[in-house]
Amino acid sequence: MKDPLLIEVTRGSVVESVHRVDIALVDGTGKLVEAWGDSGRPTLPRSSLKPIQATPLVSEGIVASNGLTDEQLAISCASHGGEPRHVQIVDRWLEQMGYSHAALECGSHLPSHSAAARDLIASGVNADSRHNNCSGKHTGFLCMAQHLGVNVAGYLSPDHPVMKKLVTPAIEDFCRVNLSDQTPGIDGCGIPVWSIPLSHLAGGWSQLRARGSGRRLLEAMAREPFLVAGTERACTRIIELAGGDAVVKTGAEGVFCGVDLRTGHAFALKTRDGEARGAEVATEWLLDRLGCIDFAAPRLLRNWSGETVGEIRVSKNQN
């Protein structure tokens, strides 16, 4: 087993910080082909699991029966910045189903995109659940509940039909795990979050590309990268750089997953310190190895005046 991937943060000639990254890389069948650090570490996937959680929209025929668009599918997989287009798509989808934003149980926060947050504050309008970065996923859950013909209230509960009949079985199926003996944690948006070995999470992403339901979502994300995250966000930037060759999705606490749409090779990674910047650089480095993007130059570190003062890079001593 290789050591964890080391991401160095330099200032001048000094290495100021180091992020250690565990990585599992699998082939198109889900077989582990390369690993750095502990590829079997139990991991809370957080938002990197969103495309798998959204697969019932396709597998249950909801896309066809509701005429769902690429925009709606991409936003269901998103951790969006709460920019106007993100909110508008969620709002239209809710209206299409006959719901208001009050049906969303994800809670509210200001848009994570700073300019959108400033504009909202300046308008005198309070943030609501539509601005939550997970509102697209939750709107998808409402769509699943409506399809099942069940009461939407309480859809966050592990025992609600949306979770029990659709979402949790999809996670078990794609990631090849048995969650029946686990007591889930609670994610930031209120849904159950399960512990999954990193290699199985990577395998779940390979299955997204291998199966029709997953591939339909990946294609929507590739066609609508802005909706997956937003302005100056890593997921959007990386998907755009890949030009249709790869799709990625971040998760909180330094998680990142992705898949090469040409070969089916997929990965899951997590920084041991939970730091996102290390995960982003590791993702770009890995996609370069797969031939999906060009990661020739390290990321520059700048001070408040815009002066370059260091860089964020893969360690020169990396094996």
Segments making up each domain of the chain, as ranges: 5-314
Average pLDDT over residues 185-201: 97
Percent above pLDDT 70 for the chain:
99
pLDDT at 187: 97
- Which long-range CB contacts under 8 A does 183-191 form with residues at least 24 apart? 184/158, 185/44, 187/46, 188/46, 188/134, 188/252, 189/106, 189/107, 189/132, 189/133, 189/134, 189/137, 189/138, 190/105, 190/106, 190/107, 190/156, 191/53, 191/141, 191/156, 191/163
Reduced to 3 states (helix: H, G, I; strand: E, B; else coil), residue 4 is: coil
Check pLDDT > 60 for residue 235.
yes
Query: Cα–Cα distance between 143 and 302 in angstroms, integer?
Result: 44
Please report the pLDDT score of residue 31 as a whole number: 97
What pLDDT sits at residue 249? Answer: 99
**For domain 5-314, which CATH number applies: 2.40.10, 1.10.3820, 3.30.450, 3.40.710?**
3.40.710
Looking at residue 295, its pLDDT comes to 80
Query: Does the structure show a pLDDT above 80 at 291?
Result: yes
Q: What pLDDT, on a 0 to 100 scale, did the predictor assign at position 296?
A: 64
Q: How far apart are CA 264 and CA 95, in angstroms?
A: 36
DSSP calls for 217-255: HHHHHHH-HHHHS-TT-HHHHHHHHHTTSEEEEEETTTE
**Once rounded to an integer, what is the mean pLDDT over residues 138-160?**
98
Which H/E stretch holds residue 309? strand 308-314
Residues 73-97: what's their mean pLDDT? 98
Entry pTM:
0.96
- pLDDT at residue number 319: 56
For 43-52, 63-72, 162-171, 287-296, which range has the lowest pLDDT when averaged over its residues?
287-296
pLDDT band with cut points at 50, 70 and 90 for residue 213:
very high
Lowest mean pLDDT among 85-99, 104-118, 250-264, 289-303: 289-303
Q: Are 196 and 43 in contact (CB under 8 A)?
A: yes
The model's confidence at residue 317, banded by pLDDT at 50, 70 and 90, is confident
The mean pLDDT value for 98-110 works out to 98
